[in-house]
Structure 1
Amino acid sequence: MAAVGSDEILPSSGMASPTSISGQVPLDQAPRLKGRHRLLQNLQRISSSPSLTRRARSHSAGYQRDGKASLSCVSLSPAQCWADPSASSPSQIYGALGTNSPPSTAAPSPGSVRIRTIEALQNGPQTSVPLPADVRSASRSMLRQSSESGLEEIDQTTATDAQQVTQEVKSSINFWQDMPYEIQMSVLSYLTPTEIVRCSLVSKAWHQKCFDGQLWSRIDTAEYYTKISSDALLKLITSAGPFIRDLNLRGCVQLREKWLSDGEKISDACRNVVNFSLEGCRIDKTAIHYFLLRNPRLEYVNMSGLSSVTNSAMKIIAQSCPRLDTLNVSWCSHVDTKGLKRVIESCPRLRDLQAGEISGFDNEDFMQLLFERNSLERLVIHRTDVTDESLKVLIHGKEPEIDLLTDQPIVPPRILKHLDLHNCANLTDDGIRCLVRNVPLLEGLQLSQCTELTDDSIMEVVQTTPKLTHVELEDLDKITNALLIELAKSPCAERLEHLSVSFCEALGDYGMLAILKSCPRLRYVEMDNTRISDLSLIEASYRVRRRGYGTDLPQVGLHIVAFDCINVTWAGVREVLSSNSYLPRALKSSSTVVTVRESGEGSDETPTPSSSQSPLSPIMPVLKYPKEIIHLKCFYGWQMTVDEHNKRVLRGSLTSANNLARKWADYMMAAEEAGTGGAGARRRRRRARDAERIYNIDDDDDDSLGPFVGRRRRARSGGCTVM
């Protein structure tokens, strides 16, 4: 191994600095480094290679932080590893300042600062070997090239790895399977029953999830009872049995055999049903009894029209269903008031009793029980044998105390809200008068086809029922326009929504105009087979137009039934059509636009109405539509035109609707003219044919934006005979 040259200590007579070769540094000006500078000053590089024969630097150099060469080890002490091996004392390396003695005799004096000066050995012998190529520091250009190539390789490798990882992630992630079961059920709950059944065909796992009872807590077969088989319906009921709360099997006649063979299985599976409907089903008596016994939580029971329902079923309901709130046994021919009496005695929560076409309502003892309970809010006893005396017992009770001043019975008022007595032939004015001042909460009253009733009793009732909204007086021959005028003056006029006076042939425009003017919330008016004329239709159109205009699409606000009215002509129907698509001139010709003015970044863009056009803002017309329109049911020969006109208005095509009404009016006028005789009959018939042709070729292919934009017309050029 080559000998390492010793460092030379050169004396200097002048001031010495850390960067000068020689000189003397005063003791009082010696720099004192602190912190990391003091630590880094003593860092020296010690090579780990024993075969270094040449070096391109001095024997000892301070550690540089920015150096790119690798370090094998670091010494923190003033090491002597670079000293000459022949030197045996520190005096050969360090010398005292201010002495000119040779290095061999130099010795440091106490208190002096030792400064080591290093000579460059440019022409000296090679004392170290170069670093290996893999650890040798390179130039900046070489480093940049190598770094760029390395980065490219790293990017390629990273992209490849990322692609592989992505593929692995895609192949390993299954969102549906990894999703919690509760969330899967929540997602499936948004599907309709038909869609859930279709999804069950995907796989076995999906089949199990789709028939989970959580999705079938409500089974209403009203929409698909004609499309589902008895086996599928039975499987659905039994699989979701404990979860079912609402079970509506209305019209499911296909379950008749299943009730006979698997009735107990269905009843055992469904133990928590709250609302149960069997209307229109074919079921035997045993299955009904077993199902009622297994479901003590029943609150709503609808068994109307079932001949298999008897008083025995009423007894079971009274014993096992104390929470019953609604019971519908209308048209059950084998049920009478004896069975209903047990239900009323055992079910204190009963609020709704529908028992139409049931015998026994002339029994005053049963009516006395209803009077004492006073818990019914809805009582439907249409087509029954109720009489004036039994109705009085229902309202007054037996032998009530009479007020001497008013001659009225002193009894608590009834809480009835809906009373249906239509087609009770035994009722007269004497029985209806018992309702006066005793049903202040009454909202619906149905007295249709009670042929013995007159204006007097009904007037007294409507004057004392301020919350009345629903009145049906169909087929009452003895009522007149005076009743309608009194109804328009009554306290319930502001709330009245539904009025039915069909087949009351004595009623005409005089009474109906008063109703239309005084009842702003009217929604349904049935007045077919009456003496009303076009005046009533015109007044109804005017009242609906007064409900205003808006930017939303129109909605049906008033239903009018006026067919078989001999005084209603096509002119009145045309007035209704024109009113439905009518837009005031002020709204049609106004130049109100919505503009958005551009301002600073922080300002908000606020649409402002402006009558002038802004060059930077697009013009957006504000389309207006009637808020509500009339749905008219009239003569069947005109009904198709009326329905098509309503369809166009409801979707906002007012221009198209106006064109249809105009063409239909031209056709009707030409048809009337063609039917007259005398001079010019041929010309009138020709005009009628032309009007019919124009009316028949009316198309609705183009949907206009409204009254502001005209519709695009289809080319109607004459073609050749072949085409």
Structure 2
Amino acid sequence: MSNPLAESVLEAHTPTGAPQSPTVIPPPFNEQPPKLKGRQRLLAGLQRVSSSQSVQRLSGSRSRAYSANGKGSVSCISLQSTQSLNTPSLGSVLTNELSMGYSTAPTSAVTTPGIQVPVFDESARFRYLSKLNGKTSAGMPTELRPTTKSGLTPGIAEVDEDYFFRPKSQHAQQIRDFNFWRDLPSELKMEVLTYLQPREVVRLSVVSKSWHKICFDGQLWATLDAAEFYQDIPADALVKVITSAGPFVRDLNLRGCVQLSERWHSRGLSDACTNLENFSLQDCRIDRTSIHNFLYANSRLVHINLSGLALATNSAMKIVAANCPKLEHLNISWCNHIDNRGIKRVVEACPNLKDLRAGEVRGWDDTELMLMLFTSNILERLIIMNCDTLTDESLAVLMEGQDSEVDYLTGRPIVPPRKLKHLDLTRCRGISDAGLKTMVGNIPEMEGLQLSKVRGVLDSTLTDLLPSTPMLTHLDLEELEELSNTVLQCLANSPCAPRLRHLSISYCESMGDSGMLPVLKTCTHLRSLEMDNTRISDLVLTEAAAMMRQRAPRTILQGKPDFKPATGLRLVAYDCQNVTWTGVREILSRNAEVFVTTHATELPPLQKRKPQTAVTPASSSSSSCSTENLPSRPPTPPRIHITRSSSFPSEIIQLKCFYNFQPTVEEHTKRVLRGDFAAARRLERKWAEFMIAQEEAGAAGAGSRRRRRRAREAQMMHADEAEGGEQGLLGGGGAAGAGVGGGRRRRARSGGCAVM
């Protein structure tokens, strides 16, 4: 209840027309306010929070929203209304519920005597606004308050936004949802996915529907080579890829995809691809009908590989002849149900056929087929290995034709040269030396010739054939026991020597150092040399190391660089009785040799700056006298800059030797290839010390006898080779000239003196 005495006093002291300041009549000092609990304590805490400087741009309607239910306002802010700037504060305005039972009517508490100030809770914090003037009226409505140019009420400082409310700007623009992959053009998406492996692309397809659509897009699978990942991809995913990208696929390689054996007809897999150019079904489990469907649906085929398919027959060759006129490469090796009849149809209907691979196919004794190949003269590669039906007569028709005009001087038919570049006659047991003679002078463009395991080939045939093949790069003479060093000497002097890259004379037990040394000196571009089970010795390995030193330029680098060489020559020399650890060490030493050179460069002397001092006549005379009395300084030594450079072998020799030496050789090669030359040299030194100690341990026993016996055998072998070379020069060449089974009596040799 209000106090009538206080109201009467206030009216008496308030002048007429003057604004009445609100005040609060405090309770007696002996009464303490009760402690707030529960909801009232929460409201008091909210009052303190909202009393902070966050009253900027608060409208009157929003202030009244807190007290709409008749309860105390949460935002109870203490404002002061002054008559002048020097007048002290008159009190606070409290709500009915927060006034703790005292009247909140406007009174003049300062000028009314006998009024006591109530004691409030100190935890309640009040904030008074500063910079007020006499025109400010905090209790007036917002629309009636005078405003300034900035839009704020005068006397109220600009404060931050409310703690519980942050008004949105009218001009704020909504941030755009940026998705890099979604906004990227489809062409760039395809380009990015091309850098992934096929297995990774299939895994990405499960991310979302959009990713699934992109991953199985046909443009991404224009070239599908499943030979590298067919073991890692399930059959369903592979079928999905083929059926989705069928019209876009140009190159399809399903080599080894045995998981598709039961799915060729389930989803139309054999009819999905219609624009194939390169097609391979090597070693697949596919039925005959599916093969025919693939060949029917693709009329643009250029390359067909059906090797190893037992169900490929002459009917498939008939479809190829009728439907694939652009065919250039055909591989039907190990197709047991295809013979000369199917091949003739393909050769007759495909005028662009350049590569024919038909190993272990029957019917090569058909002279009509060979005459068709001779007449067309387009074939560049012919692989007919393991064809026992090939005879000397059919080979002669292929090289010289039938009823051709004969040259009376040379006795050979006058025919245009063949365009064959690669001919493989490995294990064709039906031909002999007579059939190979028909190739002399008829294959000038030959690059690869494989005569491995062809019986009856003599030195005279090859000595006539090799000079007529200036483009030869690959020569395989494995297991031709009748050949001797004469063939190798002829090869070293032939025009194809600088071009030769691969040479195999394995199991040619009559060939040795006298034939291989000239080859290594002239054939300096060799990349692969197989000499296992021959009579070569350590001299050949030493010459091979010297050839690599001259052929491969060394790499010079400064400091301590991390350099890794490459493999330049693969050398096979196992099961050679005359090759010892000394020759192997020559190869290892050459692979790990590093030369370090030091260069000294003289630098110009440094120029010392002289201190600048004031010069007077007296000082100049005294300085001249002092310089005359000082002793002469010794000359400054020149500055020298030392640089070190190392030269490394750019190419090394990969050696395959005796099985007891091979682990050390392989470890040494690994260290060299990874650039650890110091470790490689350390391994070589330790191995040499071990071999020397082993030989010294067996010097008094069987080891010395074994070495003397090998020395005698090597001496006899070189003597036989030397005598054979002399007989060859006198007209007794061939196997007889080599001293092996020649019919002449060997001279008795004593093994007493190994030197003489």
The TM-score by the shorter chain falls in which range? Answer: 0.5 to 0.7
Cα distance in 2 for residues equivalent to 1:194 and 1:227 = 7
Matches within 5 A, 1:348-497: 348-384=351-387, 385-497=389-501
Which secondary structure does the structure 1 equivalent of 2:689 belong to? helix
2:260 pairs with 1:237: no
Cα distance in 2 for residues equivalent to 1:520 and 1:200 = 53
Which residue of structure 2 lines up, in the alignment, with residue 644 of structure 1?
667
The equivalent position to 2:579 in structure 1, one of 561, 568, 573, is 568
Post-superposition shift, 1:593? 9.2
For residue 339 of structure 1, what is the amino acid of its counterpart? G
Which secondary structure does the structure 2 equivalent of 1:258 belong to? coil
Post-superposition shift, 1:621? 4.6
2:333 pairs with 1:310: no
Cα distance in 2 for residues equivalent to 1:227 and 1:565 = 43
Post-superposition shift, 1:268? 1.9
Post-superposition shift, 1:200? 2.0
Cα distance in 1 for residues equivalent to 2:194 and 2:513 = 53
Which residue of structure 2 lines up, in the alignment, with residue 100 of structure 1?
none
Which secondary structure does the structure 2 equivalent of 1:187 belong to? helix
The equivalent position to 2:291 in structure 1, one of 273, 288, 291, is 288
Post-superposition shift, 1:670? 2.5
Post-superposition shift, 1:640? 2.4
Which residue of structure 2 lines up, in the alignment, with residue 183 of structure 1?
188
Post-superposition shift, 1:612? 7.2
The equivalent position to 1:192 in structure 2, one of 167, 175, 197, is 197
Which secondary structure does the structure 1 equivalent of 2:465 belong to? helix
Which residue of structure 2 lines up, in the alignment, with residue 40 of structure 1?
none
Which residue of structure 1 lines up, in the alignment, with residue 523 of structure 2?
519
Is residue 528–residue 565 contact of structure 1 (8 Å, CA) maintained in 2? Answer: yes
Cα distance in 1 for residues equivalent to 2:584 and 2:598 = 29
Which residue of structure 2 lines up, in the alignment, with residue 670 of structure 1?
693
Seen in structure 2, the aligned counterparts of structure 1 residues 621 and 650 have a Cα distance that, compared at 3 Å, is farther
**1:175-195 CA distance string (max 9 Å, x none):** 111111111111111112122
**1:92-141 CA distance string (max 9 Å, x none):** xxxxxxxxxxxxxxxxxxxxxxxxxxxxxxxxxxxxxxxx9869xxxxxx
For residue 673 of structure 2, what is the amino acid of its counterpart? L
Matches within 5 A, 1:492-511: 492-511=496-515
2:683 pairs with 1:654: no
Is residue 505–residue 530 contact of structure 1 (8 Å, CA) maintained in 2? Answer: yes
Q: Which is worse superposed, 200-209 or 620-629? A: 620-629
Post-superposition shift, 1:492? 0.4
Post-superposition shift, 1:553? 3.4
Post-superposition shift, 1:259? 2.3
Seen in structure 2, the aligned counterparts of structure 1 residues 335 and 574 have a Cα distance that, compared at 3 Å, is same
Seen in structure 2, the aligned counterparts of structure 1 residues 623 and 369 have a Cα distance that, compared at 3 Å, is same
Seen in structure 2, the aligned counterparts of structure 1 residues 416 and 659 have a Cα distance that, compared at 3 Å, is same
Cα distance in 1 for residues equivalent to 2:448 and 2:600 = 46
Is residue 625–residue 652 contact of structure 1 (8 Å, CA) maintained in 2? Answer: no
For residue 561 of structure 1, what is the amino acid of its counterpart? V
Matches within 5 A, 1:522-537: 522-537=526-541
Matches within 5 A, 1:578-589: 578-583=589-594, 587-589=595-597
**1:151-192 CA distance string (max 9 Å, x none):** xx9xxxxxx999x999x75x7211111111111111111112
The equivalent position to 2:332 in structure 1, one of 329, 332, 341, is 329
Which residue of structure 2 lines up, in the alignment, with residue 51 of structure 1?
none
Is residue 592–residue 622 contact of structure 1 (8 Å, CA) maintained in 2? Answer: no
For residue 499 of structure 2, what is the amino acid of its counterpart? R
Which secondary structure does the structure 2 equivalent of 1:588 belong to? strand
What 5-or-longer segments of structure 1 have no aligned partner?
A: 1-131, 136-148, 154-159, 596-610, 680-723
Is residue 593–residue 621 contact of structure 1 (8 Å, CA) maintained in 2? Answer: no
Q: Which one scores higher on RCO, CA 8 angstroms, separation ≥ 6?
A: 2
Which residue of structure 1 lines up, in the alignment, with residue 737 of structure 2?
none
**1:602-652 CA distance string (max 9 Å, x none):** xxxxxxxxx9755xxxx8754421121101111233222222212221222
2:269 pairs with 1:266: yes
Post-superposition shift, 1:211? 1.4
**1:486-507 CA distance string (max 9 Å, x none):** 0000010010110011011111
Which secondary structure does the structure 2 equivalent of 1:590 belong to? strand
Which secondary structure does the structure 1 equivalent of 2:438 belong to? helix
Which residue of structure 2 lines up, in the alignment, with residue 211 of structure 1?
216
Seen in structure 2, the aligned counterparts of structure 1 residues 426 and 592 have a Cα distance that, compared at 3 Å, is farther
Which secondary structure does the structure 1 equivalent of 2:356 belong to? strand
Is residue 504–residue 529 contact of structure 1 (8 Å, CA) maintained in 2? Answer: yes
**1:64-111 CA distance string (max 9 Å, x none):** xxxxxxxxxxxxxxxxxxxxxxxxxxxxxxxxxxxxxxxxxxxxxxxx
For residue 565 of structure 1, what is the amino acid of its counterpart? C
Post-superposition shift, 1:594? 14
**1:206-256 CA distance string (max 9 Å, x none):** 122111111111111222112222222111111111111111111111111
Cα distance in 1 for residues equivalent to 2:238 and 2:369 = 40
Which secondary structure does the structure 1 equivalent of 2:230 belong to? coil
For residue 599 of structure 2, what is the amino acid of its counterpart? S
For residue 445 of structure 2, what is the amino acid of its counterpart? L
2:559 pairs with 1:559: no
For residue 281 of structure 1, what is the amino acid of its counterpart? C
Matches within 5 A, 1:56-95: none
Cα distance in 1 for residues equivalent to 2:574 and 2:304 = 38
For residue 651 of structure 1, what is the amino acid of its counterpart? R
Cα distance in 2 for residues equivalent to 1:534 and 1:294 = 60
Post-superposition shift, 1:592? 7.3
**1:389-443 CA distance string (max 9 Å, x none):** 1111001111100112232211111111011111111212211111111111110
Is residue 429–residue 456 contact of structure 1 (8 Å, CA) maintained in 2? Answer: no
Is residue 322–residue 346 contact of structure 1 (8 Å, CA) maintained in 2? Answer: yes
Post-superposition shift, 1:577? 0.6
**1:475-518 CA distance string (max 9 Å, x none):** 00100001000000001001011001101111111111111111
2:348 pairs with 1:345: yes
Seen in structure 2, the aligned counterparts of structure 1 residues 569 and 205 have a Cα distance that, compared at 3 Å, is same
Which secondary structure does the structure 2 equivalent of 1:276 belong to? strand
Seen in structure 2, the aligned counterparts of structure 1 residues 484 and 666 have a Cα distance that, compared at 3 Å, is same
Is residue 597–residue 645 contact of structure 2 (8 Å, CA) maintained in 1? Answer: no
Is residue 503–residue 528 contact of structure 1 (8 Å, CA) maintained in 2? Answer: yes
Is residue 331–residue 356 contact of structure 1 (8 Å, CA) maintained in 2? Answer: yes
Post-superposition shift, 1:676? 5.1
Kindly, what percent of the aligned residue pairs are identical? Answer: 53
**1:552-589 CA distance string (max 9 Å, x none):** 63211111011111211122111111110113xxx413
Cα distance in 1 for residues equivalent to 2:601 and 2:148 = 78
Which residue of structure 2 lines up, in the alignment, with residue 27 of structure 1?
none
For residue 516 of structure 2, what is the amino acid of its counterpart? M
Which residue of structure 1 lines up, in the alignment, with residue 649 of structure 2?
626
Post-superposition shift, 1:521? 0.7
Seen in structure 2, the aligned counterparts of structure 1 residues 375 and 612 have a Cα distance that, compared at 3 Å, is farther
For residue 661 of structure 2, what is the amino acid of its counterpart? W
For residue 317 of structure 1, what is the amino acid of its counterpart? V
Cα distance in 1 for residues equivalent to 2:269 and 2:424 = 35
Is residue 668–residue 684 contact of structure 2 (8 Å, CA) maintained in 1? Answer: yes
